[in-house]
Amino acid sequence: MDEFEELFNYHWQGEGSPYEQLSEKQWNILKAALKIFLEKGYSATTTNEIAHAAGVAEGTIFRHFKTKKDILLATIIPLMQNLVGPGVSGSLQELLVENEDLPLEEVFLIIMEDRQKHVQRILPLLRVIWVESNYHPELKEALMNGVILPSKKFFLRFIEQRQERGELRQDMDSWVLARSLVGVFAFYLISLSLFPDTGERQQNREAIKGIIQIYLDGARSSRE
């Protein structure tokens, strides 16, 4: 499980972990399940596969977790609360505060490059979260409350501040401006997953700069 060790260590080590009371069998089941979920997707994973990977009988799984969905929630929700959420909203807030005096283009470039690194680091996990949130309201709620809403709060305030400075259009709703940029960049990240480029940092940076410029051509205040 070396490929997934960073996820496990980041979340489950340290005082206060929600899994510190788990038995070794329960822990092995969750690790095995997460590994297969990330490799194959939740729907394509069977409890028999999880049992085999965990080194237990399939019946043992159901003595600890009533359904496969319970296993999904027991792995993904804590990771969203303790890895994805803080990694997204926490670092975003830090970046916005640290670079609040920089020109708009530079701040956007810093944020986008940082977000891209974070997304690529946990991309398999994000795929599972995104897909399964459409089918499981518990995951959707955790995604909204733990990731999207905290990030929205910080980024929206940043957009409003730049509107107040006259750097962005004041005749448009701040959330429309924020969501437009997020949408354009999200599509760029999806396109990288579907059509990988050479991966060279300079080419990637120029592509992001192009996205920022296209966005600002419509979003920038005419006073600029």
* Domains in the chain: ranges and CATH: 2-70 (1.10.10.60), 83-217 (1.10.357)
The CA distance from 100 to 134, in Å, is 35
Q: How far is CA 24 from CA 61, 72, 93, 110, in A?
A: 12, 18, 37, 42
Shortest CA distance to 81 belongs to which of 115, 21, 125, 25?
125
pTM score: 0.78
The CA distance from 50 to 56, in Å, is 9
3-state secondary structure of 25: helix
Record the tokens describing residue 54, joined without a space. Answer: 């965990």
Look at the block and give the residue holding tokens 């979260």.
129
Cα(first)–Cα(last) distance of the chain, in Å?
Answer: 52
Q: How far is CA 158 from CA 9, 96, 152, 191, 200, in A?
A: 33, 7, 10, 26, 30
Query: pLDDT truncated to tens, each residue of the chain (224 aa)?
Result: 444 555 555 444 444 455 556 778 888 898 899 999 999 999 999 999 999 999 999 999 999 999 999 999 988 888 887 777 766 777 888 888 899 899 999 999 998 888 888 888 888 888 899 999 999 999 999 899 888 888 888 899 999 999 999 999 999 999 999 999 888 888 888 777 666 655 555 678 888 898 898 888 887 776 65
- Would you say 159 and 177 are in contact if contact means Cβ atoms under 8 Å apart? yes
